[in-house]
Structure 1
Amino acid sequence: VSYAGLDIVFNESGKFKGKTRISKRGNNRIRECLYMPALSAKQHNAKIKDLNDRIVAKNPKIKQKGTVACMRKLLVLVYTLWNKNEEYDPSYEAA
């Protein structure tokens, strides 16, 4: 996740708490390639749609947070499937 720059950076010091954001330190091409699939998955994949809706409900003014969370979820999913050399199973439930 950090290789793609989708890891979270906290802006805190003492009692001060600023905005959290993604680091963008990683490969920007991976982020670019994940953007459109994340938009599509938000509409057509029930689990990712639920994730997006949950995050947008917490932050109604910042809808982009939901898209970034979907991008991260897709990245982790693709990496896991690639590492295990498995096919995607939409009915799979994590333990």
Structure 2
Amino acid sequence: MIAIKGVSTITVAGLFAEVGDLSNYRDPRQIIKLAGLNLQMNQSGYFKGQTTITKRGRRRLRSLLYQVARPLSIHNEGFKELHHYYKNRANNPLTGKQSYVALSRKLIKIFFVIGTRNCSFDETRMLRDIPQLKPLQEVA
């Protein structure tokens, strides 16, 4: 996990302090919910409002992930492309903070896979999930 450019030992230690052993979780969405980063639509009756994060969960974990997502979007090329895609996509572009929350959710998924499968981080594999970025990757 420390091999990811932009992630320090303090970040990984803080993650494990809040989450504990990753083998206790079956899916990364459980950790996302623990952090309070799952999405919820604000609605009442016929009114359907904005979709926001629930903020029910561990405040320190949510803060740690947000504080890591910002430097990752600057120093790590894969996360920089992902942040640029989230902010400038044609359908439903995100604001800056919303993009950092999306990057935090992605980082939890990456940490979960690295921690449970004992594999290494690969930026091209991470960006393979987004079909709009494939033409850009093939050109490069």
Bin of the TM-score, shorter chain as denominator length: 0.7 to 0.9
Residue 44 of structure 1 aligns with an amino acid whose one-letter code is: H
1:41-66, Cα deviation, whole Å (9 max, x unpaired): 1112233222222222314xx32101
* Whole-Å separation in 2 of the counterparts to 1:80 and 1:26: 21
Partner of 1:87: 120
Which residue among 28, 51, 56 is the counterpart of 1:25? 56
Q: Give the SS at the match of 1:80.
A: helix
Quote the Cα distance in structure 2 between the aligned partners of 1:48 and 1:5: 21
Matched pairs, number: 93
Asked if 1:65 is matched to 2:98, the reply is yes
Deviation at 1:87, TM superposition (A): 2.4
Unpaired runs of 5+ residues, structure 1, are: none
Distance in 1 (alpha carbons) for counterparts of 2:46 and 2:81? 33
5+ residue gaps, structure 2, are 1-31, 130-140
Q: Give 1:91 shift.
A: 4.2
| Partner residue, 1:37 | 68
Counterparts of 1:51 and 1:90, CA distance in 2: 10
What is the alpha-carbon distance in structure 2 between the residues aligned to residue 36 and residue 55 of structure 1? Answer: 18
Does structure 1 residue 78 correspond to structure 2 residue 111? yes
In the alignment, is residue 8 of structure 1 matched against residue 26 of structure 2?
no
Higher helix share: 2
TM-score, normalised on structure 1? 0.80
